[in-house]
Amino acid sequence: MNLQDWAQKLPDFAKDTRLNLGSLLSPEGAPGLSATQVWGAALSVAYALRARTLVDLVSAASLEYLTDAHRESARAASSIMAMNNVYYRGLHLVEDAELSKLPARLRMNIIARPGIEKIDFEVYSLAISAINGCGMCLKSHAHELRKAGLSLEGVQSTIRLASVLSAAAQSEWIAENGPVSMEALQSMKDS
């Protein structure tokens, strides 16, 4: 099964997700992003969502667009942002100016030397930060991308891509894990 076939099998409650996914995974559907950025961000997000089926399908669909270095950087972005998004979101939510001034004391070497074009890694990091809901990281990566020349539309496309893939993974989970039959619900109520 390929990614488009999988998307078409999403239930009717996910029709909008199905339609958005069908149009999004291309430079035309994600204005401002290159094919490498689209597919690298998609793979990074699939890892961040821990969505095995999506990882496999995006990996297969991206064969012509991503090098081994891009695939490794997608994994690296997902890993480093899992740490950074928790740390910086935590600092933001604590709202303590003194705490925010302390050095992070976290190694983040991959951000400086990602093994691919820095702008591509920043796109991956922005997409994952959208998934993980870290406002400080979103702001920082969007700023770095704009400084590197990515259009505002490219930033928006990155966030749209993350949101649609999140909805697709969630829709698959719902389809596989529910709904509970009326008989089962009645049985639970009666016990």
pLDDT in tens, 33-44: 999 999 999 999
Do residues 124 and 46 lie in contact, with contact meaning Cβ atoms separated by under 8 Å? no
Nearest to 24 by CA among 172, 168, 160: 160
Known catalytic residue: 134? yes
CA–CA separation, 133 vs 54, rounded Å?
Answer: 20
Phi, psi for 149 (deg, rounded to 5): 105, 0
Query: Which residue of the set 134, 142, 161, 168 is catalytic?
Result: 134
CA–CA separation, 40 vs 62, rounded Å?
Answer: 8
> Once rounded to an integer, what is the mean pLDDT over residues 111-127?
97
**Residue 146 CA, distance from chain mean position:** 19
Per-residue model confidence (pLDDT) at position 147: 98
Per-residue model confidence (pLDDT) at position 25: 85
User: What is the C-alpha end-to-end distance of the chain, expressed in Å?
Assistant: 41
Per-residue model confidence (pLDDT) at position 58: 97
Say yes or no: domain 3-190 is CATH 1.20.1290.10. Answer: yes
Is pLDDT above 80 for 53?
yes
**Lowest mean pLDDT segment, chosen from 27-36, 106-115, 135-144, 181-190:** 181-190
Q: What is the pTM of this model?
A: 0.92
Known catalytic residue: 105? no
Per-residue model confidence (pLDDT) at position 84: 97
Is pLDDT above 90 for 27?
no
> Once rounded to an integer, what is the mean pLDDT over residues 173-189?
79
Query: Which residue of the set 51, 127, 137, 150 is catalytic?
Result: 137
Is pLDDT above 90 for 55?
yes
Name the pLDDT band for 190 (thresholds 50, 70, 90).
confident
